[in-house]
Amino acid sequence: MGFCKLVIALGGNALQEAGAPATAEAQLEVVKKTCEYIADISCKGYEIAIVHGNGPQVGRILMASKAAENITPPMPFDVCGSMSQGYIGYHIQQSLRRALDKRNKKVPVVTLITQAVVDKDDPAFKNPTKPIGAFYTKEEADKLKTEKGYVMKDDSGRGWRRVVASPVPKRIVELPAVKVLWDSTICVAAGGGGIPVVEQEDGSLKGVAAVIDKDLAAERLAEDMNADILMILTEVEKAAINFNKPNQVDLGHITVAEAEKYMGEGHFAAGSMLPKIEAAVMFAKANPSHKAIITSLYKAVDALEDKTGTIITLNK
Ligand code: ADP
Ligand code: MG
């Protein structure tokens, strides 16, 4: 094998343990474990870039900023996103370097604050669905609607929350920088799916309050980097049809056509497994030599050796 370019998308469980306190210290402990697995992958000879989620992290930054609004002006959502990229990247840089040191591997680890261009006319802006930040009463929600123009929705009866759109990432702004860094570093990029920005009439970029799916951003990055493999690491070892039903069947190596058939039949939940399958299909479709893998962190090395995981390619 020559050097094989691999984009890894890390799910929420790679940063945070369910039920553990939401502290920076607890997150760092999880990131340290995660980075042992990534270091193992790196030692297998892959050239890696890392994309990670940031939902809970950016939510907490937003809430902290809001709660302190009488002391210091709250930060807008795009700024909170950049902050989350910064501290998650810092944790990965520190932990992954340590894990690589133990393996006597010298490659530097770098985090790139990354913007992703979205279309201001993306249909997602007409129907915001992603709840973010604090819960409010109906009265508070109404006030935010009129005063700030926020879209507020009742979140499963638990209270009112601001909802934002989840538009499709069209372009990774820092792609040229990722290209420069790729050969000589492990680059953490497009964290949280990238900071969503729109292009202005004069060509400048402007941050918007939206959430980009990190699986779709990882796909964009992988495709534009001409990566060989897109690997989406999550809680499950394989995607399944009839998920959580007595007749559940875990999926091994499937083609794009098979994946599209299962998508059409509604086997993958929106907002969780569906965007992963969509990203995998998009990547596999772009080039017959592309391989997309969905598996767990713990099975990543095995899946790269075709021993497990859900693998999607254009043809078999
Ligand atoms: P991540 O943080 O890794 O993006 P998500 O919770 O968004 O994780 O998505 C992964 C989850 O999707 C799995 O843990 C599983 O509970 C759920 N899921 C929904 N549909 C399926 C399916 N068809 N097969 C496997 N897992 C599924
Ligand atoms: Mg997810």
List, as one string, the DSSP characters of 2-17: --EEEEEEE-GGGT--
> How far is the centre of ligand 2, averaged over its atoms, from the C-alpha of 27 (Å)?
17
Pick the range with the lowest mean pLDDT from 99-108, 156-165, 280-289.
156-165
Which residue type does 195 have? I
User: Cα(47) to centroid of ligand 2, in Å?
Assistant: 24
Catalytic residues: 12-13, 130, 214, 276
The predicted structure's pLDDT at residue 155: 83
Average pLDDT in the 179-200 region? 97
- CA-nearest residue, atom 1 of ligand 1: 11
Gap from CA of 9 to ligand 2 centroid (Å):
10
Mutational test site, ligand 1, from 236, 241, 258, 293, max ligand atoms within 8 Å of CB: 236
- Measured CA to CA, the distance from residue 45 to residue 225 in angstroms comes to 18
Order of strands across the sheet with 151-154?
Answer: 130-136, 160-164, 151-154
Q: pLDDT by residue (tens digit) across 85-110? A: 999 999 999 999 999 999 999 999 99
Residue type (1 letter), 238: K
Closest residue to atom 18 of ligand 1, CA basis: 273
Mean pLDDT of 121-145: 92
Residues 6+ apart with CB under 8 A from 273: 239, 243
pLDDT digits 0-9 by tens, 139-160: 999 999 999 899 999 987 889 9
Rounded Cα distance between 287 and 285, Å, is: 6
Does the CB atom of residue 262 touch ligand 1 within 6 A?
no
pLDDT value of residue 2: 54
**Mean pLDDT calculated for residue range 195-220:** 97
| pLDDT confidence of residue 118 | 98
